[in-house]
Structure 1
């Protein structure tokens, strides 16, 4: 009886245990399923947010482009419809629009492809006429009845809207904005209006294809989880977000819907549940199989559940955070890890570095894209091994990378950069790259750890671009002074065209003195900028910027014309004949019509060409010797004099001097400033002067400020002196008063 009772009790305990295990297993599987669904919706929400931001950014960019076109029309000042159409014809032919056009306030449109119709009844026309840049919902084209979307931007005369710039794109073209990779390519997105009408549908294999109204489609669907149909409709009408799970078209789908900052549009981001439910199904199968084995399999069951939970999480993380080319961190993962690092209590001073690989396009073209990908993976491999605690990295895009590192001091960062480049080049040959690899780094020392990472990266990128544009500089630290410099440069760039048009640039002349005749023999033309608000601006502040932007070519032609104008006036007024030298930028050497443009200006004024001396700097001459010889010979053939400026400031090759078509060598002031006191330097200067004169060229010494320097150079056989001793740069009037 006791044994039987024990058996009954044991059986009862076993049955209860099995039932309890079954119940707990079922409950646990349900929890796992809910957790995976929650993770799925969270990630789906992130994908939807990125997609929405992309669409909004693309639309904003298109409207900004058209607003720039409208401002161009306003600046032109001719509001005739045909005249305005002519201004946008080139943009329309080269752009990606289906067509562009100019609309008047009565709705009459003339298009870039020669069509004329009226859009007065279109809603986007009414909004743009009221002064708001607008994009239309999906509408049918008047001409071919195909679905399009139209951008419209107002054109102002003062504060009055006088017309619109309109541009249409095929709705099919907008679909590429929805191609945000999600769930290994199984997810997709589409855009609808708040009332459910389709704006941009999806061609993805998992999508329902084209539809007229998503609410009508959902009304017939089986809504199994999340928002009800009434809630979805009410949320969309009120501009709210939400989520739901639905079944239609033979497929169950998870959906997130979010309002866009465009019209009353909504973005719906969708993934089939089967993509994320595979793990749950597998867990369920294992769980119920293990229930048959009861308590003996309980431990194994929990192990398997935990393993698959981990794998599911890692799979989702890989989709969201792993760079598909290198297998390393992508920018989303970087932001997550960097935010955690910066928010931690133990976070030290940190810096954000951005860098790119120089001439990476050459590597792709020379070796192929697979080899280029190997270079990217090599970079990631080096970074992974060199990241310390509280540091992270990412490949942002292309050959652009970002690093968050501990910043004890700037010297340590520089040492780490040098070590990275050294390791990169030590290993490049292992993947078959023969050329030396180099990078440019931008560095921003993070001051506010709660700041926006995108803005922090933007500052580091500005420093990286500064490093790329500077000579012989591989890294650059962002600073307040740099930020001010960028602002000042932008101000100069914004004003330079108007300054030239408003004649704010002035020609100054610095006298040259002939040591053989003891008379003034000429001058050099120098530019000054007389800003109406800042006064006289030094050339050192604006010439480098003009060189970078290419505006220097316009300024050079302006100075050349000013020189020709004054030479002609002196000839007409009977002044003694002297020469003027004018320095022309290296940017001109790359222009095939450079000589022709100079001749056009000099021929216009009919000057005596021997009185015009064209100066090119030493660095520009030796940058492309063959081109300089071609241009120099042409100018000398036409009767101009050719001069090399700043001789000795760089690394000139003396053995080439005899081959260069030059009449004058201007020795850089670095030869003379306090160096002539040493006998060795004196011997060098004397030898250079004798060599130049033996080559039949005239020697000009620049930057001479003392009588002792003048006497010494006279004894060494120097021909001409230019410097403060005989005169600072001065206005034309002051020069005429002093010299004539």
Structure 2
């Protein structure tokens, strides 16, 4: 009995062991399938969200253009006719790839850039616009010109008294939405579409099923399969909730997963969603190889339990290594990423050291001028320098783009600063090695021994760079040296910038330029002021340097230029004598290769002679920009008059004036203040004689005394700008000044 029992007991134990092992393997199989499904769902969400962001950006840019054009039309509503539409709006059609742009008068009559005249009074977008509502239509079939699917953007147009004088619209080819949605995903097995909250289909990608492309609504497509009763109800509930989420439905023999990413509401009744859809076979194709291996393991376990167990454990280890690489290895440098940096540093709490947030100022110029591949090569070379520059127990990581972080264990600033100087110099020297624009690394530093909140510590290191960003005067700054109050004020100004621009808080003041002999007005310079809703007036010195750092200055530059053009147009239509009103262009705007074309388009939209809107370029902007000579030539070819502003403020190079052909030189106040000093007056005399010999006119800035005026008269200075004659004036006071100093 005992002998007979032993084999049976062994068999039972072996069977139990095999059942446990097989159960474990089967559980692992289900877990792998679940992980794969979650991975697909995560990717699905990311693709849908990205599509939504791209479409939102497209919508925002198109509406911003229409608002800008509406401002121009509202300047002179009596001039709205077919000829003015073609002149003011025609140039924007091809630039922004619209089919047409048109204006609908209150009686429903439309005039458009392609010459069509018809009655649109029955159209919903016209009715909404006359009620003060912007909008974009569902997909329509354009019956004018080439028949094709379109979407119509529309906004109301207000006159100077805030009364609606019509509706401005732009016809947008639906094909553009299809192209945006056409980005490949899931090896081109995934497809996307745009729907509104009622389930109406706006656009679909070209690889979507034909039955979906032919449908007008998602319900039309889903009701083709009887299994979609509940999925259809779930989708309807999701769309009506205006939130982002995922789900599934059936189509033919396939089950599909989708994720609906909600876009920012244009209007509460016009919610759009970007749907990205992927067939179930994507999940099975990803999990099938793994499941096959698992089933093979089951067979091998039955034959040789030990080998099967070992193989399974081995496969788990491989997956863990892959997950570790995804979680902690930067794909560009193959070094540590920020997650790995945080993990390592979290074990060093109590160890004092310095967080160093490093980036490369104006790095995008390298990508724009040398290509992304050269940009990646540059980042790899920087990473190598960081690796050689760190010691045992110190960490470094690539965060993203051109941003890096280091943790250095120096005792104090005295030992840290030489290391940073050496590192920054080595990075700058890469410019010669790689034949790229000059690199200028910036480091923000925060010292602490508390590593419980690593992201907050990094944020403080980033904040430390704030005062030096964009100046190219220092490579590093410490958080302890920050003016936190100023930082908070700057952040507030950044947050409200866009709303302030839309609400007209930025005002233009005009400082006259006067003939020093006759005292007659010769022109003016447009100066920006920011009047907050509480009545506080902010001077340019508070917000211009900030916007030069964060890039908002380009938008502000264009706003000032467009506003001056509009004001000149109003004076012209009122029959007033026009005087040149000069406008400043920041050095940041000059880095964009299309700056000349953009300013030419704005000027042409107002049908102004460029001589009435001269452009001022600061002397410091000519130092960093290697393309400045070419830009000056392009501006001249476009008909603009160019003024070199702040000449003599510290960067002057007289020899460069022979290369950069400016029309007018503006002598900085620092030179004017030399008047009364014998040597200073000699300097002014020889400078003005040299400039006049080049054929340049001369404007003196910052003139405040009668002695200065008399001296400048003797130098035959062409015009004077300063408090002696007038401070900067709001437009109504400037008009009064012009009437008093016209020489009439």
Give the equivalent residue in structure 2 for 1:108.
Answer: 109
Residue 406 of structure 2 corresponds to residue 374 of structure 1:
no
Supply the distance in 2 between the matched residues of 1:358 and 1:185 (Cα, whole angstroms). 36
> Among residues 258, 269, 274, which one is paired with 2:276 in the alignment?
269
Does residue 152 (structure 1) correspond to residue 154 (structure 2)? The answer is: yes
Name the residue aligned to 1:423.
426
Partner residue, 1:622 = 654
Could you say which residue in structure 2 is the equivalent of 1:393? Answer: 398
The answer on whether the counterparts of 1:198 and 1:211 sit within 8 Å (CA) in structure 2 is: no
- Cα distance in 2 for partners of 1:355, 1:670 equals 47
2:138 aligned residue? 137
Contact 2:262 2:271 in 1 (8 A): yes
Aligned to 2:573: none
Residues 103, 110 of structure 1: 8 Å contact kept: yes
Partner Cα distance (1:66, 1:598) in 2 = 26
Corresponding residue for 1:662? none
- Distance across 2 between alignment mates of 1:192 and 1:643: 57
The whole-number CA distance in structure 2 between the counterparts of 1:166 and 1:585 is 39
Once the 2 structures are TM-superposed, how far is the Cα of residue 173 of structure 1 from its aligned partner?
Answer: 1.0
How do residues 107-256 of structure 1 correspond to structure 2 at under 5 angstroms?
Answer: 107-143=108-144, 144-157=146-159, 158-178=161-181, 187-204=190-207, 210-212=213-215, 213-220=217-224, 228-245=231-248, 248=251, 253-256=256-259
Between 1:433-442 and 1:103-112, the stretch displaced more is 433-442
Pair 96,341 (structure 1): closer, same or farther in 2 beyond 3 Å:
farther
Per mean C-alpha deviation after superposition, the further-off stretch among 420-429 and 26-35 is 420-429
**Offset at residue 200 of structure 1 (A):** 1.8
- Greater mean deviation of Cα atoms: 409-418 or 151-160: 409-418
SS at match of 2:246: strand
Say if 1:379 and 1:424, in contact at 8 Å, map to a contact too: yes
The alpha-carbon deviation at position 299 of structure 1 amounts to 2.8
User: How far is 1:152 from its partner?
Assistant: 0.8
Q: How far 1:290 moved relative to its partner? A: 3.0
Please give the alpha-carbon distance, in whole angstroms, between the structure 2 residues aligned to 1:584 and 1:216. Answer: 59
Q: Classify 1:42/1:404 alpha carbon distance in 2 versus 1 (closer, same or farther; 3 Å).
A: farther
- Give CA-to-partner distance per residue, 1:608-657, whole Å, 9 cap, x none: xxxxxx997784452514258x889xx9xxxxxx99889xx9xxxxxxxx
Q: What TM-score comes out, normalization by structure 2 length?
A: 0.61
Pairs within 5 Å for 1:219-618: 219-220=223-224, 228-245=231-248, 248=251, 253-262=256-265, 263-271=270-278, 272-274=282-284, 276-278=286-288, 280-307=290-317, 309-310=319-320, 313=323, 317=326, 353=357, 355-356=359-360, 361=365, 370-383=373-386, 392-396=397-401, 400-401=402-403, 403=405, 418-425=421-428, 433-434=434-435, 437-439=438-440, 441=442, 443=444, 463=466, 467-468=469-470, 470=471, 472-474=473-475, 480-481=485-486, 484=489, 498-500=508-510, 505=512
TM-score (norm 1): 0.61
Aligned-pair CA distance for 1:285: 3.3
Tell me the secondary structure at the aligned position of residue 291 of structure 2: helix
Deviation readout 1:307-327 (Å, 9 max, x if unpaired) = 354366468x48xx9876656
Q: Check whether the contact 2:356–2:446 (CA below 8 A) recurs between aligned residues.
A: yes
**Structure having the higher Rg:** 1
CA 1:312–1:205: 2 relative to 1, 3 Å = farther
SS at match of 1:114: coil
Q: CA deviation at 1:450?
A: 9.7
Matches within 5 A, 1:642-681: none
Q: What SS does the corresponding residue of 2:277 show, helix, strand or coil?
A: strand
Identify if the C-alpha distance between structure 1 residues 450 and 310 changes in structure 2 by more than 3 Å, giving closer, same or farther. Answer: closer
Pairs within 5 Å for 1:61-100: 61-78=61-78, 80-82=80-82, 83=84, 86-100=87-101
Equivalent residue pairs, number: 597
Per-residue deviation, residues 566-594 of structure 1 (Å, max 9, x unmatched)? xxxxxxxxxxxxxxxxx997599976799
Taking the aligned partners of 2:409 and 2:676, their CA distance within structure 1 comes to 39
Gaps of 5+ in 1: 511-524, 561-582, 600-613, 636-641, 650-664, 673-684, 698-702, 704-717, 723-728, 734-740
Q: Is the 8 A contact 1:528 1:538 kept in 2?
A: no
Listed one character per residue, the Cα deviations across residues 446-486 of structure 1 (whole Å, up to 9, x for unaligned) are: 99x99999x9799969948x743x36455677854366579
**Root mean square deviation of aligned Cα:** 6.3
- Please give the alpha-carbon distance, in whole angstroms, between the structure 1 residues aligned to 2:166 and 2:690: 67
Aligned residues of 2:355 and 2:461 also touching (Cα < 8 A): no
Q: CA deviation at 1:63?
A: 1.7
Q: Is the 8 A contact 2:134 2:154 kept in 1?
A: yes
Unaligned residue ranges in structure 2 (runs of 5+):
518-522, 569-578, 583-615, 623-627, 692-701, 703-710, 716-721, 727-744
* Kept in 1: contact 2:430–2:439 (CA 8 A): no
